[in-house]
């Protein structure tokens, strides 16, 4: 497997992306080559600092421009054609790399991937699929931030893609699909939610269970939760912030007295297990589904461990060949809809 890494993308670039590379070289033997895309001098300096030796598994690809967080996604692609994210996506487009990984500007990564790779047949917009934890099982949140403004038809496509991902990657034989709303009743929700619900009820081959609300996500969630990118990104970031705040509060209380410190030491394995289940670093990245290629979006503040796992996520997405499964699911949906009409 060959992966293009946007080394200049992220709040802590190039340190953390290169730290992820160091860990990946040690733990992910399935990676044949990592293209290190960015400013060569910065990459070489970071390799020296972190003790990363030159190897046939690494190749530096020059890209002298860096996308700023203040840039719009479209401007980042059109005005900074020599940016690390643009050059990284080019490697996938040219067939040199099997996937691209970036912790940089999400809008730039989505726009560059959309313009250069295009979407799969009958998919109008790509969507970010985030794997989320709960008390019972992991589930797919789609869209987690690619498209803040969506039409009902886009959310139907998200449901089909998310269902295909849950079936073939998470191993759910008949994925249950829920629509994010402010209540489970059909009359709840805004105009987008209500219209999408009507379409999902009529979507053949989809195991649609109706609306779901906030508390459903952490207790007994369906396999796939569908929403627009604006709502999904708020859910994603709020969930991550809440998990971090809860662990900080628990730690503060444990350190308050000698008795609680002793109890904390005894419960340490349980805390570690829960942290592993809820930490965004464990997933590392999120696949951008619906593209004629593979793009993995990581968090801007991703740690080296998270960047390693983003590279692992790229490997898993390649292995599961999710795009042919999405094409098959969309074609099946269209065939069934035509036969019913």
Residues 80 and 135 in one domain: no
pLDDT > 70? residue 340: no
Residues 214 and 303 in one domain: no
Counted domains in the chain: 2
Residue 336, domain member (yes or no): no
Residues 28 and 11 in one domain: yes
Residue 280 confidence (pLDDT): 78
Residues 209 and 268 in one domain: yes
Query: Is residue 298 left, alpha or beta, with left meaning phi > 0 and alpha meaning psi from -120 to 50?
Result: beta
Q: What rounded mean pLDDT belongs to the chain?
A: 92
Residues 248 and 203 in one domain: yes
Q: Which two tokens stand for residue 143?
A: 């869209």
Residue 246 confidence (pLDDT): 87
Residue 294, domain member (yes or no): yes
Residue 86 confidence (pLDDT): 95
Pairing relationship of beta strands 99-102 and 127-132 according to DSSP bridges: unpaired
Residues 298 and 276 in one domain: no
pLDDT band per the 50, 70, 90 thresholds, residue 338:
low
Which residue stretches of 81-151 are H helix?
A: 84-93, 106-117
Residues 206 and 313 in one domain: no
CATH code for the domain of 89: 3.40.718.10
Average pLDDT over residues 141-160: 95
Pairing relationship of beta strands 33-38 and 58-62 according to DSSP bridges: parallel
How many other C-beta atoms lie within 10 A of the C-beta of residue 277?
A: 13
Residues 98 and 168 in one domain: no
Residue 38, domain member (yes or no): yes
Structural domain ending residue among the three candidates 259, 280, 301 = 280
Q: Which domain holds residue 273?
A: 131-280
Residue 88 confidence (pLDDT): 97
pLDDT > 90? residue 30: yes
pLDDT > 90? residue 135: no
């Amino acid at each position: 497997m060959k992966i293009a890494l946007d080394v200049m993308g992220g709040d802590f670039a190039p340190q953390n992306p290169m730290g992820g590379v160091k860990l990946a070289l040690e733990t992910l033997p399935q990676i044949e080559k990592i293209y290190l895309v960015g400013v060569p001098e910065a990459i070489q300096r970071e390799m020296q600092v972190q003790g990363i030796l030159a190897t046939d598994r690494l190749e530096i690809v020059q890209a002298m421009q860096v996308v700023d967080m203040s840039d719009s996604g479209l401007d980042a692609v059109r005005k900074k054609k020599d940016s690390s994210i643009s050059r990284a996506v080019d490697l996938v487009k040219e067939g040199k790399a099997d996937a691209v990984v970036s912790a940089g500007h999400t809008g730039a990564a989505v726009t560059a991937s959309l313009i250069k790779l295009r979407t799969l047949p009958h998919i109008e917009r790509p969507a970010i699929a985030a794997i989320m934890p709960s008390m019972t099982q992991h589930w797919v949140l789609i869209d987690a931030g690619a498209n803040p403004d969506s039409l009902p038809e886009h959310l139907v496509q998200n449901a089909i893609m998310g269902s295909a991902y849950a079936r073939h990657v998470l191993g759910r034989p008949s994925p249950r699909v829920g629509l994010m709303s402010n209540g489970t009743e059909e009359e709840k929700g805004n105009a987008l939610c209500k219209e999408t619900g009507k379409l999902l009820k009529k979507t053949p081959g989809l195991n649609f269970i109706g609306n779901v609300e906030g508390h459903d996500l952490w207790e007994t969630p369906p396999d796939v939760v569908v929403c627009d990118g604006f709502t999904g990104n708020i859910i994603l970031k709020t969930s991550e912030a809440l998990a971090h705040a809860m662990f900080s509060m628990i730690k503060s209380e444990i350190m308050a007295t000698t008795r609680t410190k002793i109890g904390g030491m005894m419960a340490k394995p349980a805390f570690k297990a829960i942290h592993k289940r809820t930490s965004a670093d464990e997933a590392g990245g999120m696949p951008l589904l619906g593209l004629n290629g593979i793009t993995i979006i990581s968090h801007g503040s991703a740690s080296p461990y998270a960047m390693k796992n983003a590279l692992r996520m790229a490997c898993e997405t390649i292995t599961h060949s999710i795009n042919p499964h999405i094409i098959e699911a969309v074609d099946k949906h269209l065939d069934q809809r035509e036969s019913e009409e």
